[in-house]
Amino acid sequence: MKPHYASFQGLRGLAVLAVTLHHTPMGPFADVQRGMGWMGVDLFFVLSGFLITGILFDSLERPGYFRNFYVRRSLRIFPIYYLAFALLLVATPLLRLRWSLWSLAYLGYGGNFVVPFLDLVRHNPTQVLMQVRGHWTMVCDLGPLWSLCVEEQFYLVWPAVVWFVRDRRTLMRLCAVIFMVAPVFRTAAYLTAPPREIGGFLLLWSSFTRCDTLLVGAWLALWLRGEKLTRSKLRGLGCGLIAGAGLMLVPSLLQLIQGARMAANDGRIGMAWAHPATNPFTVTVGLSLNALVCAGVLLLALDETTWLSRMLRLRWLAGVGTISYGVYFYAGWLGADGRFLTVLNPKLAGAAPMLHLLLTLVVAALSYRLLEAPILRLKERYAPARRWDVRPEVEQLAVISEAGAAWSPQRGRSVTA
């Protein structure tokens, strides 16, 4: 294990581009983007579970376990999140915006539980509307924030679980049990849920039904801290997960792609298959299979000699990964699918998706440079991270050598988590 992997920034970039293109498909492969782009969220979940669990497990014996974790997470997530909501509240009377009060559930990161119980078909409570040229047009979509709600709820519970359990193997068994139970629970819930649109989105958005994806990453982080793997074994496991789980996912992905193509012509016909929340196989077993595929991708990214890792280290992709939180967050706040630009100027209809993507990237880059980066620097003031590698054998050398000749900080590896 290393404190920092350059390929992980590219992995974030790949995930956020997939999600953004899922909401704003463009080009000749728009149906594929619509049918498969949702998988980027699961890649985020696996990566988040991997990194967060590694940080928590490595921090068990250090002071300020809970304080440091929550201060660092708060500085990363809260500023632009609550600033955007504050701007929305201020803009509502000025621009005469119309939106549902149920959306305020997102302020407490509870929108993923509240919104699915509302009527998402006739009136989507995640949409913020503005009257343009006599028509009510969506200018903001809060729906994608459901995944941030899931992660925040995970951050609320998982640190305490790691703290009280502590034993690595016991934590691994806990992750494995939940992963095996989750698809059974989702299947039972799907068969007994309310109407499909409501029940499906509850299964897709609920922390109880999506925690298995986060725990796949957690299991990997714990497992790799007790294993001595060769590069060939790491590659073999990663490719095996991608090939095995991926092949079982192919039928449902083809259905999603076909549904997206049908929905482009008739939304009522394609709705049953065009979205993972309403695809029976995807929302039950497919989510677990996708988690395994994402785990395989993460394992290949760990080996810096693979073609995937080299691709993920491309400068432009790593740059997108650096601003990935802003890209994911602002994409919905800027209209989600570019329709607002078309309403402003019908001549932009063909270029609206691309313009929306470029606008999102520019806003996210400015946000990172002017707002997020200065706030992130406060982490080292209020919750300093571990400075040096403290593997047991290194600590032992440090103790043995009174003068520090056997080990010195200069030989350690800085941690940037």
- pLDDT tens string 52-63: 999 999 999 999
The answer on pLDDT for 183 being more than 50 is: yes
Does 400 map to a domain?
A: no
pLDDT of residue 383: 84
pLDDT of residue 382: 84
Does 325 map to a domain?
A: yes
CB atoms within 10 A of CB 356: 25
Q: Are the C-beta atoms of residues 308 and 254 closer than 8 Å to each other? A: no
CA distance 85 to 334: 13
Burial of 200 (0-12, 13-18, 19+ CB in 10 A): buried
Q: Are the C-beta atoms of residues 303 and 309 closer than 8 Å to each other? A: yes
- Mean pLDDT on 275-296: 90
CB atoms within 10 A of CB 146: 24
Does 387 map to a domain?
A: no
Does 282 map to a domain?
A: yes
Structure tokens at 156: 């609320």
Point out which residues pair with 129 in neighbouring strands.
Answer: 98, 138
pLDDT of residue 272: 52
pLDDT of residue 158: 97
pLDDT of residue 3: 67
Range from 16-30, 242-256, 312-326, 385-399 that averages highest in pLDDT:
312-326
Mean pLDDT of the chain: 83
Closest listed residue to residue 162, CA positions, set 172, 153, 177, 152: 172
- Mean pLDDT on 175-184: 96
CA distance 18 to 353: 14
Does 34 map to a domain?
A: yes
Does 279 map to a domain?
A: yes
Contacts of 347 (CB under 8 A, 6+ apart): none
The answer on pLDDT for 400 being more than 60 is: no
- Mean pLDDT on 142-154: 93
- The pLDDT tens digits for 318-350 are 999 999 999 999 988 877 666 666 666 667 666
Q: How many domains does the chain have?
A: 1
Look at the alpha carbons of 278, 279, 284, 290 in this order and tell me if their dihedral is positive or negative. negative
pTM of the model: 0.87
Closest listed residue to residue 279, CA positions, set 260, 296, 256: 256
CA distance 186 to 204: 9
Does 416 map to a domain?
A: no
- Mean pLDDT on 247-263: 82
Could you tell me the CA-to-CA distances from 66 to 3, 57, 59, 72, 396 in Å, in that order? 20, 12, 9, 10, 26
The answer on pLDDT for 121 being more than 90 is: no
Closest listed residue to residue 361, CA positions, set 310, 313, 317: 317
Closest listed residue to residue 324, CA positions, set 340, 306, 312: 312
Does 409 map to a domain?
A: no
Domain carrying residue 299:
3-382
Confidence band for 403, pLDDT divided at 50, 70 and 90: very low
